[in-house]
Chains A and B, each alone.
Chain A
């Protein structure tokens, strides 16, 4: 099949997959909301006393107001920005770390591999939330530190995949020709190996965004991440708990936003995986 036909087939399968389409729609919606929060949100997330505190949802304030009289609708919208920013940044760090370590590990093998694999097994087997809590203890409570913490405990998932792929690619003929021509290791890695590991990385990345979002919001929920007055959804949920009886909307809307976002990314990631690598499909 020619490249053009392949692309057409890809597009066709993409559009035909209902789950994937639904996921894409949600993801796009969230991304747009995050990017254009300033335009979409009627108020700033920390504008206080716009209305009496604990106003029920109404026409002017669709999601009600919180204990400081802030508009929940705006807060939820700005919250998307935080959620995405954190997840994407964490993912990028993880990819950079994971891919480089995986490449080095798989390419050079030997003792370097043993050490790096030990390191990645270490971070991979420990429950990420606990470990990120430990990192936060050291770095301090802030949303940026959450990004670092999550990245540090989760890079290993990329390293493993990249390492395995690198090892198998390294033995293939076309890489051997590069070695025979005495090309520098770095160029071999960049030009031969890297392009071939991109598809599984993409799949892994899209699958890991939902869990990253969940972990980071969980940490904020515990008070270890975003700090007030941040409109982070996790933080909003935890502060809603003290007023749950009188103002349930404070918990409902951020929660729904979170669930929808995670759900959308889940559909997107799984749909993409099924499309790009059907062998991984869980039947």
Chain B
């Protein structure tokens, strides 16, 4: 078990490493000298050279890469070219907001989707099931940004119920989170239903009934326990996607989160920020994947044992 975790960690680090190189290289390849972009013609070359040295831009690329990695490992993501603030400071302000937004959205989505999926699977082909299935196909086609715009239209403009932007009160949460939840809920419901159905079809469920276990106990102790495994996967693998969704939602609702910062940075060609954000998100994705694999291994003894750990 410990060996497995180590192996995954090593793989993860390699992945992040490669991504960091790619990210750095890409930004580096950018045509145009950022210093030229920042200064106007009147600035002398001496000043420009000094600026370059200040930003460490006069060194060979490989050295610059290692400087950057070194900085990152010390928690320093550099300085924004545009705002001249430390990226760390900006992240510290914006990251919690994004986390609040995505965390709440994910939680609500799961709390709604999983029970619905369960019910649909258990009462398969019933009215409820068919209703859910047909509406979910429809919902899956709704892009989250369109949903957001429509919500704004209905609730913000026409009904004047909820605020359209900003993020300082509970009222501000409602629309963005609704948009995010609606975007992903259809898929989650279907995945839950499929997984639960798979478990229900297993022979050991028949055995459980044959033993004389009442329906409720069978459901909880056998069906749920086994479906839990895929549900875990769903949760953790969903996280990077939810973050992506947040990028768009933050833009629409003018929420000062990390996603918005990233978009702005790309539009303004503020590479330091882009580097930092992409790197962070990659690390997050890798971590989620690893955690997911590890938890699955813990929950499913078959995997645990095939990994060579003790099953006890």
Asked if A and B form a direct contact in the complex, defined as CB atoms under 8 angstroms apart, the reply is: yes
What 0/1 pattern do residues 191 to 230 of B give for CB contact below 8 A with A? 0011001000000000000000000000000000000000
B268 smallest CB distance to A (angstroms):
10
A127 and B240 contact, Cβ closer than 8 Å, known pairs A218-B145, A223-B267: yes
CA–CA, A266 and B137, complex, Å: 8
The interface stretch among A5-13, A154-162, A245-253 is: A245-253
Identify which of A45-53, A87-95, A254-262 touches chain B.
A254-262
Tell me if B244 and A258 are in contact (CB < 8 A).
no
Q: List B contacts of A214 (CB < 8 A).
A: 143
What residues of B have a CB within 8 angstroms of the CB of A210 in the complex? 141
Q: What is the CA–CA distance of A155 and B241 in the complex, to the nearest angstrom?
A: 18
Stretch at the interface among B40-48, B73-81, B274-282: B274-282
Docked Cα-Cα span, A129 to B23, in Å, equals 15
Interface string of A1-44 (1 = CB under 8 A from B): 00000000000000000010000000000000000000000000
Query: At the interface, yes or no: B243 with Cβ under 8 Å from chain A?
Result: yes
- Interface residue ranges of B40-84 to A (CB < 8 Å): none
Binds A, one of B24-32, B166-174, B303-311: B24-32
A283 CB-CB contact with B under 8 Å: yes
Please tell me if the beta carbons of A255 and B150 are within 8 angstroms of each other in the complex: yes
**Which residues of chain B are within 8 angstroms of A262 by Cβ–Cβ distance?**
141-143
Q: Does B181 sit at the interface, judged by CB under 8 A?
A: no
Does residue B127 face the partner (Cβ distance < 8 Å to A)? no
- A111 within 8 Å of B (CB atoms): no
* Chain B min CB distance to A157 (Å): 14
Give the distance to chain B from A196, nearest Cβ to Cβ, in Å. Answer: 27
Interface presence of B182 (CB below 8 A): no
Which of B146, B197, B248, B278 is the one whose CB lies under 8 Å from A255? B146
Question: For residue B108, which residues in chain A have a CB less than 8 angstroms away from its CB?
Answer: none
The 8 Å CB contact of A252, one of B138, B143, B153, B274, is B153
Contact of A244 among B29, B157, B241 (CB under 8 A): B157
Q: Given contacts A237-B149, A245-B157, is CB(A128)–CB(B244) below 8 Å?
A: yes
Q: Please give the distance in Å from A89's CB to the nearest CB on chain B.
A: 20
B261-275 vs A, Cβ < 8 Å mask (1 yes, 0 no): 011001101010010
Pick the contact of A263: B18, B138, B152, B281 (CB < 8 A). Answer: B138
A241 within 8 A of B: yes
A122 touches B29 (CB 8 A): no
Q: Answer whether residue A80 sits at the interface, using C-beta atoms and an 8 A cutoff.
A: no
Q: What are the residues of chain B within 8 A of A267 when measuring CB–CB? A: 137
Q: Are A138 and B29 in contact (CB under 8 A)?
A: yes
Q: Are B244 and A127 in contact (CB under 8 A)?
A: yes
- Decide if A259 touches B27 in the complex (CB within 8 Å): no
Q: Is B289 an interface residue (CB 8 A)?
A: yes
Which residues from A are CB-within-8-Å of B286? 125
- B162 near A: Cβ within 8 Å? no
From B18, B145, B262, B263, A237 is in contact (CB under 8 Å) with B145
A240 interface hit (Cβ, 8 Å): yes
Shortest distance from the beta carbon of A86 to any chain B beta carbon, whole Å: 14
Residue of A nearest to B153 (CB): A248
Q: Enumerate chain B residues within 8 angstroms of A138, measured Cβ to Cβ.
A: 26-27, 29-30
Chain B residue with minimal CB distance to A19? Answer: B137
* Distance between B233 CB and nearest chain A CB, rounded to angstroms: 13
A134 — which chain B residues lie within 8 A by C-beta?
Answer: 23, 26, 274, 278
* Chain B positions within 8 Å of A255 at CB level: 146, 149-150
Query: Known interface pairs A127-B281, A222-B248. Does A266 touch B141 (Cβ–Cβ under 8 Å)?
Result: yes
A122 touches B19 (CB 8 A): yes
Of B141, B153, B247, chain A has the most CB atoms within 10 Å of the CB of: B141
B252 within 8 A of A: yes
Chain A positions within 8 Å of B251 at CB level: 221-222
Is the C-beta of A136 less than 8 angstroms from some C-beta in chain B?
Answer: yes
A122 lies within 8 A of B243 (CB): no
Query: In whole angstroms, what is the CA distance A135 to B30 when docked?
Result: 11
CB < 8 Å neighbour of B266 from A118, A122, A136: A136
The 8 Å CB contact of B149, one of A129, A136, A224, A241, is A241
Say yes or no for A133: interface residue by CB 8 A criterion.
yes
Residues from chain B with a CB closer than 8 A to the CB of A259 are 141-143, 146
Chain B neighbourhood of A244, CB < 8 A: 149, 152-153, 156-157
Asked if B119 is at the interface of the complex by the 8 Å CB criterion, the answer is: no
Residues of B within 8 A of A130 (CB): 240, 243-244, 247, 262, 277-278, 281
Q: Which of A100-158 contact B (CB under 8 A)?
A: 118, 121-122, 125-131, 133-138, 141
Contact mask B154-196 → A, CB, 8 Å, 1/0? 0011000000000000000000000000000000001001100
* Cα(A245)–Cα(B15), bound, Å: 46
A138, A237, A251, A262: residue with the most chain B Cβ atoms closer than 10 Å: A138
Would you give the shortest CB distance from B166 to chain A, in whole angstroms? 15
Asked if B143 and A125 make an inter-chain contact with CB atoms under 8 angstroms apart, the answer reads no
Question: Quick one: which of A122, A127, A128, A267 has the most chain B CB within 10 A?
Answer: A127
* Residue A282 lies at the interface, judged by CB distance under 8 Å to chain B: yes
A241 proximity list for chain B (CB < 8 A): 149, 152, 252
Q: Does A217 contact B (CB under 8 A)?
A: yes
Q: List 7 A-B contacts (CB under 8 A).
A: A127-B281, A129-B247, A129-B248, A137-B30, A252-B153, A267-B137, A283-B124
- 7 closest A-B pairs by beta carbon, nearest first, are A263-B141, A127-B244, A129-B244, A262-B141, A127-B240, A138-B26, A255-B146
